[in-house]
Chains A and B, each alone.
Chain A
């Protein structure tokens, strides 16, 4: 995947239509080539956009993602190594790891590793195509606790457990913090409807 392909595909995938691209094209500056969408249906617009996409990917008669940054970095490294014996000293070899590292990062960022993305698509079956065998399921071991009676049992238990869990969840509430108590000046709270009985021995 190249950077333009990433941009276009991300726009088309996120918006789901080509409205954004149409807007961009219609708001292009004066003098720029304009494309009239008024007499086109969506399929024609899509095919036109795929033409633009393929045009954007071709630079100098060559597709952008036919080669990688690492390829170019290896060529540059070869040049740097080959000039050791000639005019330039091996001092410039220090740049090689940085060039290779940068090429690796660029390849990882801008290329998917699939040079055919996003096309050209083909409906031909590849020669090395091996159909994936479909794995069958064993009816006796499909449910971990077994089928039939056992399955019904565990289904009932799970239903009861879900009801219990919901009850406990609904009834759960956090306990409030205890009130701070001044123990020095603590006065025992009186019970409600307290009627003092007169003490005859009191002075």
Chain B
């Protein structure tokens, strides 16, 4: 449970960093880096939401 919460926080920080990177270095995010950026953002967003749902279900079971 604690690990999941830490993971969630980590992914949230990653999302914030990626958004900041997109704002600051949007001109350099071309080609493969654009795809890498999209993949990282999608993965961190999806896992963050999945972890949130898992935590909520775990709480409900208790």
- Answer yes or no: do A and B interact: yes
Contacts between the two chains (Cβ within 8 Å), count: 37
Whether A160 lies near B45 (C-beta < 8 A) is yes
Dominant secondary structure of chain B at its interface with chain A: helix
B9-62 with Cβ < 8 A to chain A = 12, 15-16, 18-19, 22, 34, 37-38, 41-42, 44-45, 48-49, 52
Across the interface, which residues of A come within 8 angstroms of B49, CB to CB? Answer: 157
In the complex, A159 has a CB within 8 A of chain B: yes
The answer to whether B12 touches A167 (Cβ under 8 A) is no
Complex CA distance for A164 and B44, rounded to whole angstroms: 11
Within 162-179 of A, Cβ neighbours of B (below 8 Å) are at 163-164, 167-168, 171
Known: A161-B45, A163-B22. A156 touches B37 (CB 8 A): no
Is the Cβ of B34 less than 8 Å from the Cβ of A167? yes
CB-based nearest B residue for A152: B12
Q: Interface size of B by Cβ–Cβ distance < 8 Å?
A: 17
In the bound complex, CA of A157 to CA of B49 (Å): 8
B41 touching A156, Cβ below 8 Å: no
Does A153 make an interface contact (CB < 8 A)? yes
| Cross-chain contact B52 with A164 (CB below 8 angstroms) | no
Q: Mark A148-160, 1 if CB is under 8 A from B, else 0.
A: 0000010011011
Tell me if A156 and B15 are in contact (CB < 8 A). Answer: yes
Contact yes or no, B12 A156, CB < 8 A: yes
A63 CA to B32 CA, complexed, in Å = 77
**Nearest chain A CB to B20 CB, angstrom units:** 10
Instruction: List 7 A–B pairs whose Cβ atoms lie within 8 Å, in order of A's numbering.
Output: A153-B8, A153-B52, A157-B45, A157-B49, A160-B41, A161-B45, A167-B41
Chain A residues within 8 Å of B, Cβ to Cβ: 153, 156-157, 159-161, 163-164, 167-168, 171
10 A-B pairs besides A157-B15, A157-B48, A167-B37 with CB distance below 8 A are: A153-B8, A153-B12, A157-B12, A160-B15, A160-B41, A164-B38, A164-B45, A167-B34, A168-B38, A171-B34
Binding site for A on B (CB under 8 A): 8, 12, 15-16, 18-19, 22, 34, 37-38, 41-42, 44-45, 48-49, 52
